[in-house]
Amino acid sequence: MRLAVLTGAGISAESGVPTFRGSSGLWKTFKPEELATPEAFKNNPKLVWEWYDWRRAIINKAKPNKGHLLIAKLEDLFEDFLLITQNVDGLHQKAGSKKVVELHGNIWRVLCTACGRRYYNYRVPLEEIPPRCKHCKGLLRPDVVWFGESLPQEEWETAIKFVKSCSTLLVVGTSGVVYPAAHLPLLAKQEGAKLVEINPEDTPISKIADVRIKKKASEGVEEFIKFL
Ligand code: OAD
């Protein structure tokens, strides 16, 4: 079996990291157009960085949960395996996952808007806001994908290629409304893969899923492993 796993914010919910949508999601309190677009950053880099600094502090305190750990274990069970995540929190890697593709970047990485260098910065809180590049003193931005931006090409191509040829795609904790990531379940299905969804709520993916596990990620992944 060639197993692909696609995760979203729901996998980190049990670690105390807020999701984006839903009753207690970030987009209930914050406006994405003011915080997660290139225009927002251009207009007010300080405000955007303050929000990212706050999120980094939450993620910094979070530990991988049982769901993350079980997904890391799945990687040991299948030689042919790829984890594709929309999350920027790095918790999958902390749980031991190695074959990971980050579609939306990583909140711990910074990108210099002047010299284009990328590097990791784990400072919590940041020393200065907005932070400056350690090489050229240019303005840094979080190395994440904002609305209106393209996904990193290599990561996207790797994800597409693997999903097209997988035998099962396990989708965990995503609302399935943000494209192009939300295209992956459709693609897997079109190419003949089995689609398994773990989510306590209904999503657009639910309609096309072959198997639905309507549970929290930790319990759902445990159930998935039992059925293998
Ligand atoms: P969302 O916040 O849109 O969706 C989270 C999903 O997780 C929902 O479908 C919930 O029902 C589900 N969920 C909540 N708790 C769960 C739990 N304990 N176990 C399993 N599932 C649970 O998050 P994403 O789908 O990841 O993009 O959002 C996609 C993208 O939209 C994000 O990467 C981000 C956001 O705007 C960018 O910032 C570009």
Residues linked to residue 197 through DSSP beta bridges, in sequence order = 171, 212
pLDDT attached to residue 11 = 98
Asked whether 174 lines ligand 1 (CB < 6 A), one says: yes
Task: Convert the pLDDT of each residue in 96-136 to its tens digit.
Answer: 999 999 999 999 999 999 999 999 999 999 999 999 999 99
Ligand 1 atom nearest to CA at 175? 9
Residue 132 DSSP label: B
Q: Which atom of ligand 1 is nearest to the CA of 36?
A: 38
User: 């932070």: which residue's tokens?
Assistant: 131
Calculate how far, in angstroms, residue 17's C-alpha sits from the geometric centre of ligand 1. 10
205 C-alpha to ligand 1 centroid (Å): 13
| Mean pLDDT value across the chain | 97
Known catalytic residue: 92?
no
Question: Residue 77 C-alpha to ligand 1 middle, in angstroms?
Answer: 26
Angle at 24 between CA 19 and CA 26, to 5 degrees: 50
Residue nearest to atom 33 of ligand 1 (CA): 86
Alpha helical stretches, state H, 97-152: none
Write out pLDDT tens, residues 59-72: 999 999 999 999 99
- pLDDT value at position 23? 86
